[in-house]
């Protein structure tokens, strides 16, 4: 999925919505996508930084 997000960054918005899920496994999978995308294109994460930081702080 990270590969697809790198090609079509608008997909990150859909994945970001799932970061608020009650399903911990789904949140973990979505977070992994963000990590992989961030390794290649960190600037793509900027619109989601506040949401990502709240996950780290929880």
The residues spanned by each domain of the chain are 2-57
pTM over 0.85: yes
pLDDT beyond 80 at 58: no
pLDDT at 43: 97
| Letter string b/e over residues 20-46, b meaning 16 or more CB atoms within 10 A of that residue's CB | eeeeeeeeeebbebbeebeeeeeeebe
Average pLDDT, the chain: 94
Give the HSE-up count for residue 16: Cα atoms under 13 Å, Cβ half-sphere.
Answer: 18
Residue 44: is its pLDDT beyond 80? Answer: yes
pLDDT at 55: 86
Helix axes 11-18, 24-40, angle to 10 degrees: 140
- What is the rounded distance in angstroms from the CA atom of residue 41 to the CA atom of residue 43? 6
């Amino acid at each position: 999925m990270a590969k697809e997000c790198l090609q079509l960054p608008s997909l990150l918005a859909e994945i970001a919505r799932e970061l608020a899920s009650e399903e911990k496994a789904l949140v973990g999978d979505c977070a992994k996508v963000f990590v992989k995308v961030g390794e290649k294109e960190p600037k793509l994460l900027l619109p989601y930084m506040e949401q990502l930081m709240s996950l780290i702080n929880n």
